[in-house]
């Protein structure tokens, strides 16, 4: 009896040291939800007119562990448009189709430290570095990545990309037509970026196809749970931990997470990494994902944004949860 007790206790201690308990995770989510629920900072973006109309009270948190357990707090049903978070999955798809080198050679994997739709960043890299030293998570790099997707016609390219995003989310995703139309009518700057990348021969053909598909990929509707499953897929070596389906090649995950770490939050990437240690990606729809490799993917949806275009509640809630759960891969106990 005594030996059995000692054995059980040893098992409990071992599990406690290595794994987070369900209760720890749920209480971290609940605490962050409560702490920022009434926070009244930031505002919905309005440069895409349809996004100004989205309910700014939507606030949901979801976390998907690498073993496929799902935790939530708040509103995880309301959908927003995925916006720039989609760039991660376009990048992943191009790497799966053409190899990791294709992205590095054509676009680059370096931070620009500039805003997400910076044209100066392209000029700077071109004139001063003489080559593609940007990355696929800012608009010029993302539109170029979209232009690299495999497919014989627009429909085929689109089906492949939406299929990849859906497999990561674990359900068939759809496009918010109102957001797509609204951004299509106002995306002249992204069209200019498409042509600029074509002029510099980063985009090889049909720059307006690439810009149009890019705009559509940004209009895909997601809730916090979808985004957490997408992040969880990246945390779990490219295999969706809930459905068990392999979506992204395992060998490409470290490169994807590296680019998220250096450029996922544009000019605020360094500050975020400094405080959390986690690769992350934001979108102007109000979503944000972060990845604790081998542990979990987490997402928050809350539309009001700060000046850099990042959701205010999302960044605070994820930082609190990540730090509370000691998720930074850089935080290790000395032996
Ligand atoms: N669709 C948006 C754009 O291109 C995405 C920007 C973002 O989410 N940061 O402007």
Please check whether the two domains, 18-84+220-324 and 86-218, share a CATH topology: yes
CATH number at 86-218:
3.40.710.10
pLDDT at 2: 54
Domain covering 18-84+220-324, topology: Beta-lactamase (3.40.710)
pLDDT of residue 128: 78
3-state SS of 292-327 is ECCCEEEEEECCCECCCCCEHHHHHHHHHHHHHCCC
Ligand 1 centre and the CA of 284: distance in Å?
Answer: 6
Question: Model confidence over 185-196: pLDDT tens digits?
Answer: 999 999 999 999
Split at pLDDT 50, 70, 90, the class of 16 is: very low
pLDDT at 4: 53
Encode pLDDT of 32-56 as tens digits: 999 999 999 999 999 999 999 999 9
Question: How far apart, in whole angstroms, are the C-alpha atoms of residue 277 and residue 258?
Answer: 11
- Atom number in ligand 1 closest to CA 117: 10
- pLDDT for residue 308: 83
3-state secondary structure labels for all residues of 174-203? CECHHHHHHHHHHCHHHHHHHHHHHHCCCC
- Kindly state if the Cβ of 84 falls inside 6 Å of ligand 1: yes
Distance of CA 68 from the midpoint of ligand 1 (Å): 30
CA 138–ligand 1 middle distance (angstroms):
9
260-298 per-position pLDDT tens digit: 999 999 889 999 999 999 999 999 999 999 999 999 999
Q: What is the pLDDT of residues 57-89, one digit of tens each?
A: 999 999 999 999 999 999 999 999 999 999 999
Number of the ligand 1 atom closest to the C-alpha atom of 85: 8
The whole-chain average pLDDT of the chain stands at: 93
CA of 237 to the centre of ligand 1 (A): 26
Does the beta carbon of 83 sit less than 6 angstroms from any atom of ligand 1? yes
Domain boundaries, the chain: 18-84+220-324, 86-218
For residues 46 and 51, give the distance between their C-alpha atoms in angstroms, rounded to a whole number: 6
Query: Taking Cα atoms as reference points, which of 277, 276, 314 lies closest to residue 61?
Result: 314
Answer whether residue 15 shows pLDDT above 70.
Answer: no
């Amino acid at each position: 009896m005594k030996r059995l007790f000692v054995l059980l206790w040893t098992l409990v201690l071992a599990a406690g040291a290595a794994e987070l308990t369900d209760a720890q995770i749920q209480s971290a989510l609940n605490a962050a939800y409560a702490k920022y629920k009434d926070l009244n900072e930031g505002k919905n973006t309005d440069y895409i007119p349809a996004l100004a109309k989205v309910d700014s009270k939507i606030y949901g948190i979801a976390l998907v562990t690498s073993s496929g357990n799902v935790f939530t707090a708040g509103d995880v049903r309301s959908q927003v448009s995925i916006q720039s978070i989609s760039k991660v999955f376009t990048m992943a798809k191009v790497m799966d189709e053409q190899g990791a080198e294709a992205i590095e050679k054509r676009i680059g994997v370096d931070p620009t430290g500039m805003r997400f739709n910076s044209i100066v960043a392209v000029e700077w890299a071109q004139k001063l570095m003489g080559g593609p030293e940007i990355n696929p998570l800012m608009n010029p790099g993302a539109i170029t990545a979209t232009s690299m997707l495999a497919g014989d016609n627009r429909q085929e390219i689109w089906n492949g990309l939406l299929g990849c995003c859906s497999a990561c989310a674990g359900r068939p995703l759809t496009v918010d037509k109102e957001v797509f139309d609204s951004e299509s009518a106002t995306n002249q700057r992204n069209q200019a970026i498409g042509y600029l990348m074509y002029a510099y021969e980063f985009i090889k053909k049909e720059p307006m196809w690439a810009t149009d598909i890019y705009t559509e990929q940004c209009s895909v509707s997601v809730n916090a749970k979808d985004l957490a499953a997408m992040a969880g897929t990246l945390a779990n070596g490219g295999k969706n931990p809930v459905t068990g389906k392999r979506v992204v090649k395992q060998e490409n995950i470290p490169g994807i997470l590296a680019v998220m770490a250096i450029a996922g939050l544009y000019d605020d990437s360094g500050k975020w990494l400094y405080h959390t240690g986690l690769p992350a990606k934001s979108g102007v729809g109000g979503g944000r994902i972060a990845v604790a490799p081998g542990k979990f993917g987490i997402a928050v949806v809350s539309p009001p944004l700060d000046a850099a275009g990042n959701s205010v509640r999302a960044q605070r809630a994820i930082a609190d949860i990540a730090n509370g759960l000691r998720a930074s891969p850089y935080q290790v106990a000395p032996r």
